[in-house]
Amino acid sequence: MDYIKIRFGNDFDQLTSRIEKTFEEMFRPRPASPMFATAECTWTPAMDIYETPEEIFIRAELGGVDKEDLEIEINSKAVRLYGKRSEIPRVANATYRLAEIQYGKFERILFLPVPIDTEVVSSSYANGFLELRLVKLPREKTYKIPIDSS
């Protein structure tokens, strides 16, 4: 059985700078054609996040990404997916009429709506889709405290 690499931790190093980088990526103008793209190619995989009362599920569309080029870091509040998709060599003497498939590095940091139990995480990768199953931590109970009159 092959395993997907998942790292656990209390927080992510340099998370603030990564968030800033993410905002820069969101608002940076995109080239009209891949011919004008920068030397360092990056792309953003499509994702779905949904939850039930007990769990949170994340599905990432990562077609063409080898499992060895995929890494996951997780803590009780966020999940970071990163890796790379290698470019398929172009056909010599071919005229490309459309080139939309993106290659290069990717990174997504997903902040979770509730804390999760990092001890109970499962993942699978099949047919180009990564699926993560995260179990929610039980909500902390609130207790009423009687006030003494003095």
pLDDT at 66 over 90: yes
Higher pLDDT, 64 or 149: 64
* Stated pTM of the model: 0.68
Contacts of the segment 39-48: beta carbons below 8 A, 24+ positions apart? 40/104, 40/105, 41/87, 41/102, 41/103, 41/104, 41/105, 42/104, 42/105, 42/106, 42/107, 43/85, 43/102, 43/103, 43/104, 43/105, 43/106, 44/106, 44/108, 45/81, 45/106, 45/108, 47/108, 47/110
pLDDT at 29 over 90: no
Name the DSSP letter for residue 67: G
Higher pLDDT, 2 or 78: 78
d(CA 69, CA 87): 13
pLDDT at 95 over 70: yes
Please give the domain boundaries of the chain with CATH numbers for all domains.
Answer: 6-27+45-87+104-136 (2.60.40.790)
User: Mean pLDDT, the chain, as a whole number?
Assistant: 82
pLDDT tens, residue by residue, 117-150: 999 999 999 999 999 999 999 887 777 888 888 7
